[in-house]
Amino acid sequence: MAVPIILIVALIAGIISIVLAVYFRYLVLKEDPGNERMQEVAGYIEEGAKTYIKVQYKVLGIFVGLLFIVMLFLPNLTNLGTLNWEQALAYLIG
């Protein structure tokens, strides 16, 4: 069975992305963190970013949960009278 070229390209692109992310992380972490005031401001930025991400995950979790329930109880168009649990589960996992 032949592997489509797009899968190979996607795999190579993913590997290159991970390698570059590790390299850029190394470059950033080896830089001088700056004076005390710069570190204080960086701490405020980090705290704000973490709070923002926490709120985003909470909102996303509620949205995904509600949409999962809606998808679960929508009628299955290919097999009338049954629940869409397969599609709802695939959405939840994805």
Which sequence spans correspond to the domains of the chain?
1-31, 37-94
Using the predicted structure, report yes or no on whether residue 76 has a pLDDT greater than 80: no
Q: What is the 3-state secondary structure (H, E, C) of 27-93?
A: HHHCCCCCCHHHHHHHHHHHHHHHHHHHHHHHHHHHHHHHHHHHHHHCCCCCCCCCCCHHHHHHHHH
Mean pLDDT score of the chain, rounded to an integer? 91
Report the percentage of the chain scoring pLDDT > 90: 68
More confident site: 59 or 70: 59
Mean pLDDT of 18-37: 96
